[in-house]
Amino acid sequence: MKKFFHIGFSTLILGLFFTSCNDDDDYQTIESIDKIKIDSVKIVNDTMDVFSVQSIKTFSTYPSHCEGFYGYDYIHNDSSSRTVTAYKYITNGPCTQDSYTAASQINFSPQHVGTYTFKFWNGANNYITKTIVVE
């Protein structure tokens, strides 16, 4: 019984060693993060109820397939205005240089009645402004 335990344990250790030494580099490393301008914004309903949820879609054009959506910087300027900036990741892998457009989304759930103004960064000091009335 003791011999089986030692053989089983040794096999397990060797299996873990060979598995952990697998040099599989099929992934790409994120090299940097940068702003990406928002080309357009789609808001389905410009009027909504308090505490309801609405998805706001943004569209951006990426210059190559080594880049993609990373996240948003969503700033509450005051109780009714928001500034939204999109960020992209840039990887180090081999990729095609074909540009492509991709959609991302923010889920907006207002907590108060009022008119909310969104400013989406569109490059330099340009913004796409959208308004949602909350009843």
95 within a domain of the structure (yes/no):
yes
Q: Across the chain, which distance is largest between two alpha carbons, in Å?
A: 76
* Parallel/antiparallel/unpaired status of strands 30-36 and 67-76: unpaired
Tell me what pLDDT residue 93 has: 81
d(CA 22, CA 32): 26
3-state SS track over the chain: CHHHHHHHHHHHHHHHHHHHCCCCCCCCCEEEEEEECCCEEEECCCEECCCCCEEEEEEEEECCCCEEEEEEEEEECCCCEEEEEEEEEEECCCCCCCCEEEEEEEEECCCCCEEEEEEEECCCCCEEEEEEEEC
Per-residue pLDDT tens over the stretch 51-96: 999 999 999 999 999 999 999 999 999 999 999 999 999 998 888 8
130 within a domain of the structure (yes/no):
yes
Count of domains in the chain?
1
Task: Give this prediction's pTM.
Answer: 0.78
117 within a domain of the structure (yes/no):
yes
Q: Answer whether residue 11 shows pLDDT above 70.
A: no
Q: Answer whether residue 125 shows pLDDT above 60.
A: yes
- Pair 108, 50: CB distance under 8 Å: no
Tell me what pLDDT residue 97 has: 86
Tell me what pLDDT residue 17 has: 52
Tell me what pLDDT residue 3 has: 53
Tell me what pLDDT residue 96 has: 84
103 within a domain of the structure (yes/no):
yes
20 within a domain of the structure (yes/no):
no
CATH for 123: 2.60.40
40 within a domain of the structure (yes/no):
yes
6 within a domain of the structure (yes/no):
no
- Can you give the residue range of the structural domain that contains 84? 28-134
Q: Which two tokens stand for residue 4?
A: 């089986």
Tell me what pLDDT residue 130 has: 98
The one-character DSSP state at 6 is H
